[in-house]
Amino acid sequence: MNWKDALSQIDFQQHTRLRFQEPLAKHTHFGIGGEATAYIEVSTIDDLAILAQFHREWKVPVAVIGKGSNLLVSDKGFNGLCIRLIGELANLDVDGTIVTVGAGQSLPGLSKLMSKNGLSGVEFALGIPGSVGGALIMNAGAWGSSFGDVVTDVTVMQDTGELLTLTHDEAQFEYRHSGLEAYFCVITATLKLQPGDVDEITSKMNTLFKQKIETQPFVEENAGCMFKNPPDDSAGRLIDISGLKGHRIGGAEVSTIHGNFILNLDNATANDVLDLVAYIQKHVKEKTGISLQTEVKRLGFG
């Protein structure tokens, strides 16, 4: 029996949905990429533990994805099992100023719910279209705040299916990076927020969102900032002074609004995007001496 047959024979709980040959382009904000051999929306911890054990037993490559807002998927797709968290894995519980949130929860959804609860600390997140899991892996942030700043601990699943709770320090949050990638899957985070006035928190959240959509492209398909900011500088500024705004390869173009965004304007392929990334890196290095490092994660490139 091959792994696909074995997977389809597992008796998952009612809301867990398994599909084969699933186009990943429709699960990413870039709208780019081929198919995943198998794609499963997992609704319970028990089903996730079954998948962790399946992964070990069958040695099938596994990728947990969130909202696909920081992801470039290969044109050949992903030859393995792609997992997305839904149901109880996206739950949210508020106890005073302590919030426990599932990795499948949307970040803008969290931001809005916290403002309604009069809890401050995640106002910056309304304009980041990811999941809590993706925000933990990436230590997503904006306007000087990062998601890790409000996290007290994180629960992860190991590939044995066992859960492990890590402290803030053990999660190793850095600029657009954390140590959580080492685990099979990020499950929940506990946040410590600050009590505040609902109107003030909502107003701050809306102001930050407005500033974001005025200065960054929000209509065309993209994956957010393509490059990390070098220390004390901005990748967008470096791309701008290198004269690369509007530069196009195939269907991919450097945004004319913000140089650190690559847009899928006309059925861009992943190769178009990677060619444009290499072109930008080469020209920014020549012009400024700085080597830009990518922030966007890649899936299925071998």
Ligand X SMILES: Cc1cc2nc3c(=O)[nH]c(=O)nc-3n(C[C@H](O)[C@H](O)[C@H](O)COP(=O)(O)OP(=O)(O)OC[C@H]3O[C@@H](n4cnc5c(N)ncnc54)[C@H](O)[C@@H]3O)c2cc1C
Per the listing, tokens 């060619």 go with 275
Among 16, 105, 131, 190, indicate the residue that binds ligand X (CB under 6 A): 131
DSSP β-ladder status, 185-192 and 62-65: unpaired
The residue range among 50-58, 68-76, 90-98, 194-202 that interacts with ligand X, by the rule CB under 6 A, is: 68-76
Shortest approach of ligand X to residue 149 CB, angstroms? 12
Q: Are strands 35-42 and 17-23 parallel, antiparallel or unpaired?
A: antiparallel
Strands in 78-85's sheet, in edge-to-edge order, are 17-23, 35-42, 78-85, 62-65
User: Which residue in this structure is represented by tokens 């910056």?
Assistant: 124
Residues 229-288 that bind ligand X (CB under 6 A): none
Candidates 33, 44, 67, 190; binder of ligand X (CB under 6 A) is 67
Using the minimum distance from each CB to ligand X, give the nearer residue, 118 or 251: 251
Strands 17-23 and 119-120: unpaired
Considering only residues 75 through 114, tell me which ones interact with ligand X, judged by CB under 6 A. 85, 103
* Closest residue by Cα to residue 225 from 262, 180, 278, 273: 262
- Closest to ligand X by CB, 68 vs 259, is 68
Taking CB under 6 A as the criterion, the residue among 185, 252, 254, 292 binding ligand X is 185
Residue 101 CA to residue 187 CA, distance in Å, equals 9
- Environment class of residue 88 by beta-carbon count within 10 Å: exposed (0-12), middle (13-18) or buried (19+)? middle
The least distance separating ligand X from the CB of residue 119, rounded to whole angstroms, comes to 20
Instruction: Confirm or reject binding of residue 70 to ligand X (CB under 6 A).
Output: yes
Residue 167 amino acid letter: T
Q: Name which of 75 and 285 has its Cβ closer to ligand X.
A: 75
Residue choice 223, 226, 235, 239 for contact with ligand X (CB under 6 A): 223
Residue type, 59: K
Select from 43, 69, 74, 155 the one that contacts ligand X (CB under 6 A): 69
List residues binding ligand X (CB under 6 A). Answer: 29, 63-71, 85, 103, 127-131, 133-135, 137-138, 140-142, 185-186, 218, 222-224, 297
